[in-house]
Amino acid sequence: MTNINRIKLTWISFLSYALTGALVIVTGMVMGNIAEYFHQPVSAMSNTFTFLNAGILISIFLNAWLMEIIPLKTQLRFGFILMVLAVIGLMVSHSLALFSASMFVLGLVSGITMSIGTFLITQMYEGRQRGSRLLFTDSFFSMAGMIFPIVAAFLLARSVEWYWVYACIGLIYLAIFILTFGCNFPALGRRARQSDAPVAKEKWGIGVLFLSIAALCYILGQLGFISWVPEYAKSLGMSLSDAGNLVSDFWMSYMIGMWAFSVILRFFDLQRILTVLAGMATLLMYLFITGEPEHMPWFILTLGLFSSAIYTSIITLGSLQTRVASPKLVNFVLTCGTIGTMLTFVVTGPIVAHRGPLAALITANALYAVVFVMCFALGFVTRHRQHSAPLPR
């Protein structure tokens, strides 16, 4: 593989995470405007975003097999066409049915690109280097989470219709589409088996189960928390701009933390530092919920910092539970995380409707505690130490 080709594939991976991050994180900012557009209460409107999350889940789950049938480049180019159609659907939609269908298509496109982006990184890098590369890739998720709430707040404050936020997000996929030209992707399926020696299958082990539960609870907890922070902040008397700044502060700190931990993780055992980070994140979320409003920006900044390496470390540890990380193993852990995405408003919507946004934040805190327990239990069964490549000297 040439260096230019590797750079293009790496940037496709970066942008695939940015696309998913932008689509998922901007929800909390535009939900109120969309609810007003369709004359629906916010708690009821949140359920329609389940179509976005369901699309992500279905595409990641199926792509474990589709990647061996349909070439990766073909998937990405076809995804661009679907992205354009979905954004047009949002712009012309005057019914919840068309809106939900468009969000479902956006979810399909996002899931396909994210699963491809994750697989590319696991194929191009090994051992602890894989963890640091995945962490840097995931930083683009948080970078989009930092940028697009600001973009959404800027547009909405100027009475620009909410669907132009999604048009802006579509520019990320335009960049992915352009990068596919002149780029060679790894061979999978029958073509790969013809050129490579067969590899003995390995059992995944119970550690994959612990990590899958952790992935589900972490994503459900994180998105349940960050999606309702704006509504919780407004209930405390904050303006929409201040609420948006809290979300942006979280993702800015999250992004900086990813860059820092992409270096730090090379010098520590991945399971042990993951357990510490999960415990600290649980404590900081509790302090955010119970602390004074004037302290909220500081708590959410530190929460973003300590949360930043958790999900990518879960995926990396999952890929290291066997000697060879297959698309099915990587996508299985991703699928469990995406189930958490899909359940975000299914779980938190009724909680907010009956108990308010504070109850949703408390539920998210409990889910983070489960992540800590799963990471701690993993220490007794993990196989990553025997499958990790030694650090280069």
Q: Is residue 63 part of a domain?
A: yes
Q: Is residue 392 part of a domain?
A: no
Q: Does pLDDT of 6 surpass 60?
A: yes
pLDDT digits over 294-349, tens only?
A: 888 899 999 999 998 898 889 888 877 776 666 677 778 888 887 887 788 788 88
User: Which whole number is the average pLDDT over 80-106?
Assistant: 91
- Match 């993990």 to its residue by tokens: 382
Question: How many Å apart are CA 287 and CA 195, to the nearest integer?
Answer: 54
pLDDT digits over 118-165, tens only?
A: 888 877 877 667 767 777 787 788 788 778 888 888 888 888 888 899
Residue 166 confidence class, pLDDT cut points 50, 70, 90 = very high
Question: How many Å apart are CA 312 and CA 309, to the nearest integer?
Answer: 6
Mean pLDDT, the chain, whole residue set:
84
User: Which whole number is the average pLDDT over 236-247?
Assistant: 80
Q: Residue 333 CA to chain centroid, in angstroms? A: 12
Residue 140 belongs to what domain range? 3-184+205-387
Which residues have CB under 8 Å from 287's CB, separation 6+? Answer: 295, 299
119's tokens: 């697989």
CB 139 within 8 A of CB 241: no
Q: Is residue 116 part of a domain?
A: yes
CATH of the domain at 145: 1.20.1250.20
Q: What are phi and psi of 303, to 5 degrees?
A: -60, -45
Q: Is residue 268 part of a domain?
A: yes
Least confident of 154-158, 174-178, 208-212, 281-285: 154-158
How many domains are contained in the chain? 1
Residue 393: what pLDDT? 32
Which residues have CB under 8 Å from 252's CB, separation 6+? Answer: 142, 146, 301, 304
Q: Is residue 217 part of a domain?
A: yes
Cα within 13 Å of Cα(113), Cβ side: 38
pLDDT digits over 31-86, tens only?
A: 888 888 888 877 677 677 778 878 888 888 888 788 878 888 899 999 999 999 99
SS3 of 100, please? helix
CA trace torsion 379, 382, 387, 388 (10° rounding): -30
Q: Is residue 240 part of a domain?
A: yes
Alpha-carbon dihedral sign for residues 152, 157, 163, 167? negative
Q: Does pLDDT of 384 surpass 70?
A: no
Q: Is residue 126 part of a domain?
A: yes
Question: Where do runs of H (alpha helix) occur along 38-95?
Answer: 42-48, 50-66, 72-92
Q: Is residue 198 part of a domain?
A: no
SS3 of 207, please? helix
